Amino acid sequence: MNYNDQIKNRVKRIEGQVRGILRMMEENKDCKEVITQLSAARTAIDRTIGVIVSSNLVECVQKANDDQKEKSMEELVKGAVDLLVKSR
């Protein structure tokens, strides 16, 4: 799969969030603030997973149209849903 710049930028932002969280911990910030930032990072990761899975589904469907030997549309959708469920 080709990961476009938008997806890579999302991950870079998440990386920055995590570095900020670590800095907050090193500075002994209030646990509520740390938990809030951890929750924000988790949400960002979940959304990025969704973007990747949906992009992958589109790519697989396009491939299936080009090559009839690929899995059925139902199998492709089920695989994408399984990926989303697994990520939780």
User: Residue 52 is part of which domain span?
Assistant: 5-87
Contacts of 45 (CB under 8 A, 6+ apart): 14
pLDDT digits (tens, 9 = 90+) for 43-69: 999 999 888 887 777 776 666 666 655
Where residue 12 sits, what CATH number does that domain have?
1.20.58.1000
* Number of domains within the chain: 1
Contacts of 21 (CB under 8 A, 6+ apart): 34, 37, 38, 41
Question: Could you give the CA distance from residue 22 to residue 37 in angstroms, rounded to a whole number?
Answer: 10
pTM over 0.85: no
What's the confidence (pLDDT) of residue 6?
92
